[in-house]
Structure 1
Amino acid sequence: MDEKFFDRHDQAILRILLDDSRTPLQEIGKAVGLSTTSCWNRIKRMTDAGAIQSYTVKVDLAQIGYQDTVIVQVTLGSHSQETLDEFGRALESIPEVLEAFLISGDYDYFIRIAVKDTRDYERLLREKLYKIPGIRHSKSSFVLRTLKKKDTPLTG
């Protein structure tokens, strides 16, 4: 999206939607000083341009039984496109994998996984992660506390 079309009103609208995507247009308009129609047009333009990709619900993972988060760093034995594609597909099939990044540096992947507890993580390793062909090395770290978590750099 071209920056000249992404002004302070668009940023203000996005901040409101990031806080609660169910906020009524009338409320958004009042908060940002624009008419309901103007807000709707801006939201539609940002959606059409791909800046707004979806509307979703934030879930407290602990409330639904996933008490722990594990960061797993993985190195693959091969870096062929076929190996990378197969590894990506395998991660897609594991519901506990929340995010996976192909990274530079000592490891190839940085993966964030939600688990119920250490036994659940052990099960996931044995039954799912270690069954993916091509993993040469992995390193796991349990998250002790989340200090900051945001989806965008927009501030309030």
Structure 2
Amino acid sequence: MILDFLGNADAHLTDPPIPLESSINCDSAANLCKDGATGPLWMHEIEAPRPLTQKFMHEHLDRIDQAIVRALADDARLPVSQIAERAGLSQSACTRRIQALEDSGRITGYGARFGHRRLGFRVTALVDITLSTQIEEDLAAFEAAVSQVEGIVECALVSGGQDYRLKIVCRDLDDYERIHREHLGKLPGVMTINSSFVLRSVATRSEADALFRGA
């Protein structure tokens, strides 16, 4: 287990104790020494706050934070005790890590994954839209209108020949035709609409596995 004197103190259950540098003795770290002992000072589990240091705010997560993110990606309902066990932390240290990940915007929320077909939504459409202008006000008006349309679960401003790509989940082709007629064709500034349909979704790795594939 490693004590980071810059402010990161987590119990690493799988790491062996490591002596501090010889320049650190009982006079400079008396609170960690027992009975005034001299010689190498060994690490002990210390449940100290883990502030958002510059190191932690770096774009890359360390192996412990990655273990936490992977566990939450697998099942966001896991109790902290199980997440802590996977990451090799005490529960209190794990809770602080999760809070720091949330506060830094690395974890933005938790949700359920739906079985669309079992819920009656059997058609997924990918819709490319070109607008008549790319003026900022027109883009904002289009995006505001899109947010009000039922069935649209994703909207991305893209490069290339089109301006936006929408992902629409609907019950069947008749349902998509209705959405197209009642909503898509009436979106502000729309010049062309090109639709394609997903024939089969291919299983891939989880988002966490894909993001940290090189870890």
**TM-score normalised by structure 2 residue count:** 0.68
- Do structure 1's residue 2 and structure 2's residue 77 form an aligned pair? no
CA distance in structure 2 between the aligned counterparts of 1:55 and 1:3, rounded to whole angstroms: 21
User: 1:155 Cα deviation (Å)?
Assistant: 5.6
CA distance in structure 2 between the aligned counterparts of 1:63 and 1:155, rounded to whole angstroms: 31
Aligned position for 2:122: 67
User: 1:62 Cα deviation (Å)?
Assistant: 1.5
User: 1:36 Cα deviation (Å)?
Assistant: 0.8
Counterpart amino acid of 1:34?
L
Unaligned runs of 5+ in 2: 1-56
Is the deviation greater in 146-155 or in 12-21? 146-155
- Do structure 1's residue 85 and structure 2's residue 111 form an aligned pair? no
- Do structure 1's residue 134 and structure 2's residue 189 form an aligned pair? yes
Specify the SS of the correspondent of 1:60. Answer: coil
1:3–1:108: structure 2 CA closer, same or farther, 3 Å change rule? closer
Identify the match of residue 44 of structure 1 among 92, 95, 99: 99
1:96-145 CA-partner distances (Å, limit 9, x unpaired)? 00101001101101111001111000000000110112111111000001
Identify the match of residue 57 of structure 1 among 112, 123, 126: 112
Aligned position for 2:80: 25
The 8 Å contact of residues 11 and 154 in structure 1, kept in 2 or not, is answered as no
CA distance in structure 2 between the aligned counterparts of 1:42 and 1:74, rounded to whole angstroms: 41
CA distance in structure 1 between the aligned counterparts of 2:115 and 2:84, rounded to whole angstroms: 29
Q: Which has the higher strand share?
A: 1
Counterpart amino acid of 1:17?
L
Aligned position for 1:106: 161
CA distance in structure 1 between the aligned counterparts of 2:59 and 2:144, rounded to whole angstroms: 34
Counterpart amino acid of 1:19?
D
CA distance in structure 1 between the aligned counterparts of 2:125 and 2:169, rounded to whole angstroms: 6
Structure 1 residue runs of 4+, over 2 Å off? 148-156
Counterpart amino acid of 1:74?
I
Compare relative contact order (CA 8 Å, sep 6+) and give the higher one, 1 or 2. Answer: 1
Q: Select the structure of larger CA radius of gyration.
A: 2
User: 1:61 Cα deviation (Å)?
Assistant: 1.6
User: 1:3 Cα deviation (Å)?
Assistant: 3.5
Matched residues, percent identical?
A: 38
State the aligned residue count.
155
Counterpart amino acid of 2:82?
E
Specify the SS of the correspondent of 1:121. Answer: helix
